[in-house]
Structure 1
Amino acid sequence: MSVVKKKKRVSKKNKKAWGKYSDIRDVEEFLEDQRLEERLGKFDTKPDSELFVVDTAGDNEEVKVEADVKPLSRKLQKRAKLNEVPKCFEVLLPTSKVQDPNKKRNHVNPIGFKPSALSKLREKRQAQKGVFEKKLVEAKKNRKMALDKKRKAKQVRQNFGLDLWGKDLPASKGIPETLVDEFISEEAQLHNVLPTQRLRPKPPLAKSVVTRAAVETPHPGVSYNPSYQEHQDLLRQVGQHEEKMMKKEAHLHRVTTGMFRRVTQAEKENQWREEMSSGLPQPHNPAEDPDSDTDNEYKAVNPPVKNKKKDHKTRRKQKERLLEKERLKREKIDKQKITDLYKLRKLQSSIKTREQKQASERTKRAEKRAATEATALPTLSAHKTPAKEPDFVDPKQLSGDLRNIQANTNPLRERFESLQRRGALAASKIMMKKKKKLKSYFKAGHKVTEKDIEKYVTRNVGKK
């Protein structure tokens, strides 16, 4: 080992300086030898058979040529590799021969290494049910299906008569050969095909139309000769309906017209005058000046401010007030925490009752939704079905026979709306066209008489 001449007066207070000005090659060589022995093992512990080989053949003897060994088949090679450690797991094996420093380390078995009582019970139940047999049968079936699929994929297609563009031919769309012409568009050809030749599926009838009654039975109080109780019951229903409509109309008036207050014409003019003269300079009126009645004393616009300092007493009082305020705030927070702790049981019970209530309401809503869906009308149009208005006859207009009865409703319109309410017809909306007002002119002539003039004047006055 060569001796390194140390520099005089070299600072070694840092680790970097020790490594720079100290010779540590002997320590590195010793550690390298120790690592090599850890990897390969010590020579003292190895037997002589591993270190030395006895030469018995000699230099002059001929080397025996071994007979050709028949190589193993592929199947035997795979079987021999079963006992070997896979390449992917070789990284996990220890490469060093260094012993574990902690010899009393507890060995932890992986999960599923030893069957538990619960797993044994589960396997026993599955064996009784025949789960494993079903899995074997299903696996066998899947393997067979995979083999059949693979065999079919390998087979060469023998049928060459398949038309890949057959779907676009006119015959597939129901167009006969007599209508096929290259000069006529396809839309025109389809238009001329008879309806019997077009394959258009007819939609099934809606459930609500099938299950709903044919005609809704009217209330017994609508009869021309009802009983007193039935007539009073109908009167009560009509009164409730009218109250509901009045309430709805009052609500609409409250949220629309009632929101805006009415302003008179004078108030409107005053508001307009104030808004238009808001930015203009106002004329000075000495009578309205508040300082006019005072003496002619000079007053500055910005009077001087005195710099009055706070003494120690006021500052101390201010600090005490702040501390007292903070203390009261903290006491209030602590008290709130204690009350919250006592309220936990009450909160838990209230949450439980609320959850039960929400669950019951949820079930009720689901039942109601299912009932409405079962009897819901088919959506035949975008308009809503007209609601049935209650029919009521005043007691004074009631007649005991059919000859003197007065019809309040139109039977044709009533049946039409009944069909719409039952889903047999699409709901419609009455569209009233406004009649154009024709302006008439009087054409004077020698044949016009005074009666014609009077007739024209009276007709126009009545229109106005």
Structure 2
Amino acid sequence: MLLEIKKKRVSKKNKAAWRKYSDIRDVEEFLEEQRLEERLGRFDTKVDDELFVVDLKGDGVEEKPDIKPLSAKQRKRAALEETPRCFQILLPSSKVEDPNKKRNISKPVGSRPTALSKLTAKRKSEKGVLQKKIEGARKNRKIARQEKKKSKAVLKNFDKNLWGGSLPEVKGIPETLCDDFISPEAQLHNVPTTQRLRPKPPLPKTLVTRAAVETPHPGVSYNPSFQEHQELLQDVVKHEEKMMKKEAHINRVTSKLFRRVTTKSKENQWIEEMSEGLPTPHNPQIEEHSDDTDNEYRAINPPVQNKKKDHKARRRQKEMILEKERLKREKIDKKKITDIYKLRKLHTSITKEEKKLEEDRKKRESKKQEEEEKALPALNSNKPPAKEPDFVPPEDLSGDLRRLSTKTNLLRERFESLQRRGALAGSKVMMKKKRKVKSYFKAGHKVTDNEVDKYLEKIKKSKSKVSK
């Protein structure tokens, strides 16, 4: 007698409780069978030949067929048709048919020739580019075959000494050094190092032509002529004017941009701002207004009445708007007519402007090309210092070299000249900052009054310098 197990009545309101107390084994078995049928197919639909095999040979020894083994080349060609292993995982493993029978097969990008590629191929074939490429490839293959044959060719001339590699003559050592008492290391050391030297680097693509050393102005001479000295003086004056103009511009856009306010005017401005709205001697109007008031609230603006416009006023307003619009339209039409008459004049002015722009552009290009030809190589980011004009005032001039006072350093001038001509990289003057050392006064029983006075005077001087 079978005992019926009474089912427990449990709550299945949560997912965890549902999974714990519900039996879904039959559903899982059904789904597993369905998946197996999808992979292998149904047995009732298959033919007997696919399911069963008739054994005709029996248990005897199998006769191996006399098949000639394939060569390596044939095996490689056969493997080309097979799908590579790296792409086999992408193939579908299921035997389920596609539900959409009329699905459009999308070809990968680049497999189908485009209209542009067809045109380029046609153009190349007409020009003979493709034929030339095929002939070149054929020629290269022929050369490669010949080279391969040469490398495999059997040596027919047996004039090579296999054991003569260790002789000093073979290594390139001259006969004068091939003695018994000289070691092979010394022999090799004394051999000219032509083969062991590194090859020369190729010449640079661009040839840099450097300017010659600049000759000084004849007015710099210790005994110049009056005209040459005056010419140099004019150049120096122009340079100084240029520098003064530059300094004035910097002063104008920095310090002069902001107005200076004195302490007294600043205080007056502050008092005026703080006393805004208060009865003060600066604004007596407020006092007069305060006397008239009788502590009653009065609105500053009078009350506004909603006065409606009558029919006549509205009609006049509409007429005014229409008149304004009519005048505006007339003005636009008049301007159109005048513009039509001005077309010829505009056309000539535009062509003139275009010609001028084209000429300016050509000038700029030619100037840029000349500068590029004369430009020095950029050795670093620092620019070489500009040459300052050298000038000797007329009172310091003397017809003798002994009494001439030199103001320029010859070494520095030559160094800057090399930088300007691109032989050396532009240098930057690095100035060290001076540390501000604080001084302290150490009091003691041996300190005199004179020392204290000196220290106080020193402090006063330093403060006056800072205030200036």
TM-score (norm 1): 0.51
In 2, Cα distance between equivalents of 1:311 and 1:441: 92
Change (3 A) 1:155 1:203: closer
1:257 aligns with one of 245, 255, 258? 255
Matched, 1:402 2:419: no
- How far apart in 1 are the matches of 2:424 and 2:295? 94
- Counterpart of 2:237, as a letter, is G
CA distance in 2, matches of 1:299, 1:463: 65
Pair 1:147 & 2:138 matched: yes
Call closer, same or farther: CA 1:356–1:142 in 2, change over 3 Å: same
Corresponding residue for residue 223 of structure 1: 221
Q: 1:303 to 1:243 in 2, by over 3 A?
A: closer
- For the residues of structure 2 that align with 1:156 and 1:236, how far apart are their CA atoms? 78
Matched with 1:373 is: 372
Distance 1:379 1:339 in 2: 58
CA contact (8 A) 2:278 2:286 kept: no
Partner of 1:344: 343
Superimposed CA distance per residue, residues 369-392 of structure 1 (whole angstroms, 9 cap, x where no aligned partner): 111111111111111111000111
Matches within 5 A, 1:448-459: none
The answer to whether the aligner puts 1:312 opposite 2:302 as a matched pair is no
- Counterpart CA distance in 1 for 2:441 and 2:279 is 63
CA contact (8 A) 2:210 2:422 kept: no
The CA distance in 2 between the partners of 1:462 and 1:444, in whole Å, is 19
- How far, CA to CA, are the matches of 2:223 and 2:205 in structure 1? 39
Moved more, 371-380 or 316-325: 316-325
Shift of 1:220: 1.0
User: In 2, Cα distance between the equivalents of 1:258 and 1:423?
Assistant: 40
1:234–1:392 contact (8 Å) kept in structure 2: yes
Q: Deviations over 1:291-321 (max 9, x none)?
A: 4455869775375443333223322222222
Q: Does 1:424 align with 2:415?
A: no
C-alpha contact (below 8 Å) 1:221/1:233 kept by paired residues: yes
Of structures 1 and 2, the one with the larger relative CO (CA 8 A, separation 6+) is: 1
Shift of 1:401: 1.6
Matched residue type, 1:392: F
Which whole-Å CA distance do the structure 2 matches of 1:440 and 1:312 have between them? 93
Q: 1:365: how far off?
A: 1.0
Is 1:323 matched with 2:342? no
C-alpha distance in structure 2 between counterparts of 1:271 and 1:463, whole Å: 34
8 Å contact from structure 1 (residues 207, 374) kept in 2: no
For 1:245-293, what per-residue CA distance to the aligned partner results, in whole angstroms no more than 9, with x for missing partners? 1111111111111110111113333555677899xx9689998255445
Equivalent-residue separation in structure 2 for 1:410 and 1:388 (angstroms): 13
User: Does the CA-based 8 Å contact 2:382-2:426 persist in structure 1?
Assistant: yes
Unmatched tracts of structure 2, length 5 or more: 1-125, 153-195, 463-468
Q: Counterpart of 2:382?
A: 383
CA gap of 1:388–1:207, structure 2 versus 1, over 3 A, is farther
1:44-95 CA-to-partner distances (Å, cap 9, x unmatched) read xxxxxxxxxxxxxxxxxxxxxxxxxxxxxxxxxxxxxxxxxxxxxxxxxxxx
Q: Could you list the runs of 4 or more consecutive aligned residues of structure 1 that deviate by over 3 angstroms after TM superposition?
A: 138-143, 149-160, 196-208, 269-278, 281-287, 289-300, 302-307, 434-445, 460-464
In structure 2, the partner of 1:233 is: 231
* Aligned mates of 1:320, 1:351 — CA distance in 2: 43
- Tell me which residue corresponds to 1:112: none
Q: For 2:147 and 2:202, how far apart are their aligned partners in 1?
A: 42
Distance 1:359 1:229, change over 3 A: same
- The residue type paired with residue 405 of structure 2 is Q
The superposition leaves residues 316-339 of structure 1 with CA deviations (integer Å, 9 ceiling, x where unpaired) of: 222222122111111111111111
Match of residue 245, structure 2, among 244, 247, 254: 247
Offset, 1:218? 1.0
Q: Does structure 1 retain, via aligned residues, the 8 Å contact 2:210–2:376?
A: no
AA aligned opposite 2:264: A
Q: Which amino acid aligns with 2:222?
A: Y
- Distance change (3 Å), C-alpha of 1:286 and 1:388: closer
Report the Cα distance in structure 1 between the residues aligned to 2:393 and 2:435, rounded to whole angstroms.
38
RMSD in angstroms over aligned alpha carbons?
Answer: 4.7
Query: How far apart are the structure 2 equivalents of 1:236 and 1:327?
Result: 68
CA contact (8 A) 2:419 2:425 kept: yes
Task: Name the structure 1 match of 2:158.
Answer: none
What displacement does 1:203 show?
7.3
CA contact (8 A) 1:286 1:292 kept: no
Name 2:32's counterpart in structure 1: none
Q: What is the rounded CA distance, in whole Å, between the counterparts of 1:386 and 1:271 in structure 2?
A: 49
Alignment of 1:109-258 (within 5 A): 141-149=132-140, 201=201, 204=204, 207-208=207-208, 210-213=209-212, 215-258=213-256
Q: Which amino acid aligns with 2:259?
A: R
Q: Tell me by how many angstroms 1:143 deviates.
A: 4.0
Query: d(CA) in 2 for partners of 1:431 and 1:423?
Result: 21
**1:224 touches 1:399 (CA, 8 Å); kept in 2?**
yes
Count, aligned residues: 288
**Structure 1 residues 270 and 443, CA gap change in structure 2 (3 angstroms):** closer
